[in-house]
Amino acid sequence: MPALPDLPEATVARLPEYLRALHNLAENNHETVSSDWLATAAGVNSAKLRKDLSHLGSYGTRGVGYDVALLIEQIEYVLGLTHRRSVALVGVGNLGHALAGYDGFATRGFRIAALFDADPVRVGEEINGLVVRHVDELSRVASEESIAIGVIATPAAAAQRVADLLVAGGVTSILNFAPCVLAVPDGVDVRKVDLAIELQILSFHEHRKASLTALPAAGESPLTALSGGLAATDPQEAIGT
């Protein structure tokens, strides 16, 4: 396999957005797309989009735009979506149940292959055709079933042990929903999803907008009261990356 380009993390985060927009175009029988159209559909500016796609060696054709099918192929190749990856989900409580029952992963290249929990009441339950197994089986099953990605939806207190079991089973990518930081060996990638953090970032932007429209208190603006003031940020950038 040829070495893949080492892409900026922000570019990697935007590629799935382009892919989603491109699939919509393909479903509506569009063969080409302009950078402006695709950028708008993905919620970025077109200069950023062109730069992102140039990393893939995709420059489009002046006056024509990008070939939709070719660009889908290129992005899927770079994202490693040309074959379906198996996912193990650990913790099938409220969140885990919702994730296990979600059909959307299959259409995006992922197959939930195994479910685990520590609660004897949950073990043996069938969700979407999969029987929940005991977490003690996690390492063995992960290894036997070549699990590529482990999703942790347990309470924070259990998450590190679950991560250790995943790593012992050869899993090198973990998506962590538990609100904690995981310690993992080099070579293991962890991504964290925390809606509360996203809400706190939005809260910051709300707070900032309100502070800009509020009348300054006598003497000093609330912004200059903070040392150095507040740098302007692009809210889309701050939240999405």
Ligand X SMILES: NC(=O)c1ccc[n+]([C@@H]2O[C@H](COP(=O)([O-])OP(=O)(O)OC[C@H]3O[C@@H](n4cnc5c(N)ncnc54)[C@H](O)[C@@H]3O)[C@@H](O)[C@H]2O)c1
Annotated binding site for NAD(+): 91-96
Compute the least distance from the CB of residue 92 to ligand X, in Å. 5
Q: Rank residues 69 and 156 by Cβ distance to ligand X and give the closer one.
A: 156
Residues 163-169: contacts with CB under 8 Å, at least 24 apart? 163/190, 165/135, 165/138, 165/139, 166/88, 166/90, 166/138, 166/139, 166/142, 168/139, 169/138, 169/139, 169/140, 169/141, 169/142, 169/143
- Minimum Å distance from CB 63 to ligand X? 44
Measured from the CB atom, the residue of 55 and 192 that comes closer to ligand X is: 192
Judged by beta carbon, residue 109 or residue 179, the one nearer ligand X is 179
Phi and psi, residue 33, nearest 5°: -150, 140
In the complex, the smallest distance separating the C-beta of residue 175 from ligand X, rounded to whole angstroms, is 10
Cβ proximity to ligand X: between 49 and 178 the closer is 178
Query: What are the structure tokens assigned to 71, written together?
Result: 């660009």
**Token pair recorded at residue 108:** 């995006």
- Between CA 129 and CA 111 the distance in angstroms is 12
Count the Cβ atoms, other than its own, within 10 Å of residue 142. 25
Residue whose CB is nearest to ligand X in the complex, by number:
93
Q: How far is the CB of 167 from ligand X (least distance, A)?
A: 14
- Residue 130 Cα to chain centre, angstroms: 24
Binding site for ligand X (CB under 6 A): 90-96, 116-119, 122, 135, 153-156, 158, 161-162, 177-179, 193-195
State which residue, 41 or 118, has the beta carbon closest to ligand X. 118
CB of residue 4 to ligand X, shortest distance in Å: 29
The answer to whether the beta carbons of residues 97 and 127 sit under 8 Å apart is: yes
Task: Please count the CA atoms within 13 angstroms of the CA of 75 that sit on its side-chain side.
Answer: 25
Do residues 193 and 210 touch, judged by C-beta distance below 8 A? no
Minimum CB separation of residue 136 from ligand X in Å reads 9
Instruction: State which residue, 113 or 153, has the beta carbon closest to ligand X.
Output: 153
What is the Cα–Cα distance from 60 to 67, expressed in whole angstroms? 7
Which residues define the annotated binding site? 91-96
